[in-house]
Amino acid sequence: MRHYEHLQWGPDTLRLAPWRGDPTIAELSPAGNGRPPGVDTVRQGLALVEKRGYHSAITSALAAEEQHGYLDAGFEVLERLHLLSRGLDRLPDAPPSRRLRRGRRSDLPRLLELDSLAFDPFWQLDALRLDDARRATPSSRLRVTAERPLAGYAVTGRAGTRGYLQRLAVTPEHQGQGWGRALVVDALRWLRRRGAMSVTVNTQEANERALRLYHQLGFSTRPEGLAVLVYRFGSR
């Protein structure tokens, strides 16, 4: 499996990899060490990316405080996402007869196929980014439907008392049957058992089905959102 390359200039670190294996698009994102990169670091990253022959660079979904260095370096907003959260004191009921199990390594090919069915091409995960989602927090959990072939999966992470629903995917033919609700409720219960106090999730602004599900399960949309940014070489 390919891995991110870490680029460091002074105290700032960026991570670099081809976007979904595309040799023309670079993902140039913060390294996740809690320090947003400054404009000089982003510019140095862009210089390296351009030298390697990429046509454009995009970021992961960034919070507002992470965007400043990129915007100052000439990045633009490609797509905005909703950020939602809820506490874990009172949890909704899970739908009956929707059995789940622990995800296994052998499930990976089906998970990637499932993900490609559930999301538009830009948002689909490859093996590197699915692994990245699972490693993004100190503690994580992969759950899948017991249905064969797999109907859906969820990646949940925890860092201290904060929980994160990193990924939720259900195939179109199984949507509206309670699988998404079962996976989310299962994630909420696991987080509460592990001592988390709250959970956040993000989704595309146009994903009305996901937004409706999260709101039904007690999530509230936060005023601050996230954004994916893009820089196109030769367009300036």
Same-domain check for residues 182 and 138: yes
For residue 150, with 0-12 CB atoms within 10 Å meaning exposed, 13-18 middle and 19 or more buried, which class applies? buried
Residue 214 in domain: no
* 127 shares a domain with 75: no
Is 216 within a domain? Answer: no
Which residues 6+ apart lie within 8 Å of 147 measured at CB? Answer: 174, 179
Q: pTM of the full predicted structure?
A: 0.89
> Into how many domains does the chain fold?
2
Predicted pLDDT of residue 1: 45
Sign of the four-CA dihedral 56, 3, 82, 210: positive
Low-confidence ranges of the chain (pLDDT < 50): 1
Q: Are residues 72 and 151 in the same domain?
A: no
> In this structure, what is the dihedral angle of CA atoms 104, 110, 112, 113, given to the nearest 10 degrees?
-170
Is 114 inside a domain boundary?
yes
Q: Which one, of 56, 70, 184, 168, lies nearest residue 123 by Cα?
A: 168
The tokens of 179 are what? 């699988």
Residues 112 and 175 in one domain: yes
Residues 56 and 148 reside in one and the same domain? no
Residue 205 lies in a domain: no
pLDDT at 45: 96
The sign of the torsion formed by the CA atoms of 159, 162, 167, 169 equals positive
- How many C-beta atoms surround the C-beta of residue 92 within 10 A? 14
Enclosing domain of residue 189: 89-196
Q: What is the CATH number of the domain that holds 108?
A: 3.40.630.30
DSSP H or E run through 158:
strand 152-159
pLDDT at 235: 67
Quote the pLDDT of residue 115.
95
Statement to judge: residues 93 and 161 lie in one domain: yes
- Same domain? 185 vs 114: yes
In a domain, 206, yes or no: no
The pLDDT assigned to 2 comes to 53
Asked if residue 64 belongs to a domain, the reply is yes
- Hey, how many other C-beta atoms are within 10 angstroms of the C-beta on 229? 24
Residues sharing a CB contact under 8 Å with residue 2, sequence separation 6 or more, in sequence order? 17, 18, 21, 128
Cα–Cα distances (Å) from 54 to 15, 57, 79, 229, in that order, read: 15, 7, 20, 16
**100 plus 180 within the same structural domain:** yes
Q: What is the pLDDT of residue 161?
A: 96
Pair 63, 102 in one domain: no
User: Are 98 and 118 members of one domain?
Assistant: yes
In a domain, 220, yes or no: no
pLDDT given at position 105 = 93
Residues 22 and 97 in one domain: no
